[in-house]
């Protein structure tokens, strides 16, 4: 069975046709529970997200700040497994028809088996993977299997990336390019880094693949700011924080739905 890389590309293109950026939400699988995480992903899409990244909880999440680390810890203590991540993708995609990616560090895939992981993700209807710590020069095996199964390979670029390095990364990736707006970990911030726009333009000079910006976007005004120059706006910690702050799981799901609606207005410049 082939994955949904084409659906991802078509979704990003459709938003561009509407004259706006795509809204990409991030939520970890298994948080607050597996069932609760599935409902949260569905709520994000129903609220206005175009695409969702499902995080594979990891014990050493080097890119993630304290908010997502807290959610990952809750999921891991709850016993979340890769099978639960696949179930989250499968049920969320089946319910919404939206493109769902998995964001994961390389070690869990390496241990699970690249062929097994890509085959199962494609079977679940996944659109691809974001791999923040997989070096491009070591990615040939992954890319071979991802391409075979119709999955996007999304690499992360950073403000520190030199132009030559950007070209190397964008030539190997597919789906979209994840532009980290600043050096550091995920988290909500008072303002979006001024480095983000420069990084988007430098990345665009190397590829026609959409460039989406993440790290630090947490409210509609920031989403509108980033949407001026990026093809997509990625929001993670703000969604997770809404769930952590909610009095119960049902309220957390509704908080995700509400934030998605607010941010969807932001990427449309309706703030």
**Catalytic residue set:** 53, 64
Neighbouring CB atoms inside 10 A of 244's CB total 17
Sign (positive/negative) of CA torsion 3, 27, 210, 185? Answer: negative
Q: Could you write out the DSSP letters of every residue in the chain?
A: ----HHHHHHHHHHHHHTTS-EEEEEEETTSS-HHHHHHHHHHHHHHT-SEEEEE---SS-TT--HHHHHHHHHHHHTT--HHHHHHHHHHHHHHH---EEEE--HHHHHHH-HHHHHHHHHHTT--EEE-TT--GGG-HHHHHHHHHTT-EEE-EE-TT--HHHHHHHHHH--S-EEEESSSS---B-SS--THHHHHHHHHHTT-SS-EEEESB--SHHHHHHHHTT-SEEEE-HHHHHHHHHSSSHHHHHHHHHHHHHHHHHHHTT--
- Residue 57 pairs in a beta bridge with none
Assigned token pair, 137 = 């020069």
């Amino acid at each position: 069975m082939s994955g949904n890389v084409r659906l991802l590309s078509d979704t990003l293109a459709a938003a561009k046709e509407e004259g706006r950026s795509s809204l990409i939400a991030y939520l970890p699988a298994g948080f607050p529970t597996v069932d609760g995480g599935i409902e949260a992903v569905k709520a994000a899409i129903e609220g206005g997200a175009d695409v969702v990244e499902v995080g594979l909880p990891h014990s050493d999440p080097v890119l993630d700040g304290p908010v997502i680390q807290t959610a990952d810890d809750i999921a891991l203590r709850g016993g979340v497994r890769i099978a639960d991540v696949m179930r989250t993708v499968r049920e969320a995609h089946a319910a919404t028809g939206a493109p769902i990616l998995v964001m994961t560090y390389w070690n869990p895939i390496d241990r699970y088996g690249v062929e097994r992981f890509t085959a199962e993700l494609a079977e679940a209807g996944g659109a691809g993977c974001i791999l923040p710590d997989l070096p491009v020069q070591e990615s040939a095996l992954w890319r071979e299997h991802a391409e075979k199964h119709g999955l996007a390979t999304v690499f992360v670029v950073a403000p520190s990336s030199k132009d030559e390095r950007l070209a190397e990364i964008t030539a190997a990736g597919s789906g979209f390019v994840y532009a980290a707006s600043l050096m550091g970990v995920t988290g909500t911030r008072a303002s979006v880094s001024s480095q983000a726009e420069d990084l988007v333009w430098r990345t665009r000079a190397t590829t026609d693949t959409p460039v989406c910006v993440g790290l630090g976007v947490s409210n509609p005004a920031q989403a509108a700011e980033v949407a001026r120059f990026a093809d997509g706006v990625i929001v993670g910690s703000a969604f997770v924080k809404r769930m952590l702050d909610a009095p119960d799981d049902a309220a957390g799901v509704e908080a995700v739905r509400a934030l998605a609606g607010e941010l969807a207005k932001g990427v449309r410049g309706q703030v």
